[in-house]
Structure 1
Amino acid sequence: MFPLLETERLILRELVEDDAQDILNCFSNAEVLRYYGQKSLTSLDQVKQIIRNFSANYDEKRGIKWGIEQKETCSIIGTIGFQDWSLEHKRAEISYALFPEKWGNGYAKEAVNKVISYGFEELGLERIGAVVFVENNASNNLLTKLGFIKEGTLRKYMYQNDIPYDTNIYSLLKKN
């Protein structure tokens, strides 16, 4: 059963095909994708296939992706999850994206905190990593505030719109 997580203002839930339009709106937005390392999504069919892929990744214990739903509106305002999840090595990488109109309201911090706790307490992770564009000041600052340690910079590691970007690599280790 897919885990449902709840915070003060948010519900983190499984993405379903009915969410496709919201996901398309998010991941076709140039502001959202500016530091995401992904091409713009272009169709509902493409998004529905991605949602099915998320489900398969969870079933195969390779990743987990939640929709971030705002309680007061019952609408998706972004996504968060783990990819490159390794049961054997007890690690995963976190990624998240919010609609620009929701930036600066503490939603990312709220969602990231909840997912980190879930990763350490329920998934048995010992390490959570993050790869962030050097220019993405908001995410770099958020991760640092949450205790992530910058391990270094990966040069020309990700491309956005066919332009190479350097990324910072972060980790947070489980406190024993």
Structure 2
Amino acid sequence: MFPVLETERLTLRQITDQDAEAIFSCFSNDEVTRYYGLENMESIEQAVSMVKTFAALYQEKRGIRWGIERRNNKELIGTIGFHGLAQKHKRAELGYEIIPAHWRNGFASEAISEVISYGFASLGLKRIGAVVFTQNKASNRLLVKKGFQKEGVLRQYMYQNGIPYDTNVYSILKSNE
């Protein structure tokens, strides 16, 4: 059964076909995709496909992706979760995005705290990594604030619209939490 997580203001829940419109509005926005390594979505079909990808990630135990929903109005404002889940090595990579209209409200921070706790307590992870475009100042700051340590720079690691970008690599270890 897909785990539902609750915070003070958010419900982290399974993403369904009904969320395709919100997923499309998020991933067709330049402000969201510019540091994502993903070209803008151009059709709702691409959003439906992403929903299926998230479902497969969980079914195949390669990761888990939650929809970030505001508890007060049930609005989906982004997604968060783990990919590259390697149970044998007790590690996963964290990824997330929030629709720009909801930036600077602490929602990403709230969701990250809950997901990290879940990763360590329920998935038995010992290491959670994150890879972030060096130019993504807000996300770089947020990860450090949440206790992640910068491990280095991966040069020309991700392509966005055909252009290579450097990324910072971070991790948080269960022993640091």
Per the TM superposition, whether the score is higher than 0.5 is yes
1:20-169 correspondence runs (5 A): 20-169=20-169
Provide the TM-score with structure 1 as the length reference: 0.98
User: Where has structure 1 moved over 6 Å in runs of 4 or more?
Assistant: none
Whole-Å separation in 1 of the counterparts to 2:163 and 2:56 = 31
Q: 3-state DSSP class of the match of 1:58?
A: helix
For 1:50, the aligned partner's letter is M
Q: CA-atom RMSD, angstroms?
A: 0.9
* TM-fit CA distance, 1:33: 0.7
* Consecutive unaligned residues in structure 1, runs of 5 or more: none
Q: Could you report, residue by residue, the CA deviation over 1:9-64 in whole angstroms, capped at 9, with x for unpaired residues? A: 00000000000000000000000111111111122222112211211110111011
Q: The residue matched to 1:164 in structure 2 has which SS?
A: strand
Q: Secondary structure at the match of 2:88?
A: coil
State the SS of the aligned residue for 1:20. helix
- Between the aligned partners of 2:59 and 2:163, the Cα distance in structure 1 is 34
Partner residue, 1:13: 13
Equivalent position SS for 2:53: helix
The 1-side partners of 2:15 and 2:89 are apart by 26
Instruction: Could you tell me which runs of 5 or more consecutive residues in structure 2 were left unpaired when the two chains were aligned.
Output: none
Q: After the TM superposition, which of the residue ranges 92-101 and 47-56 deviates more from structure 2?
A: 47-56
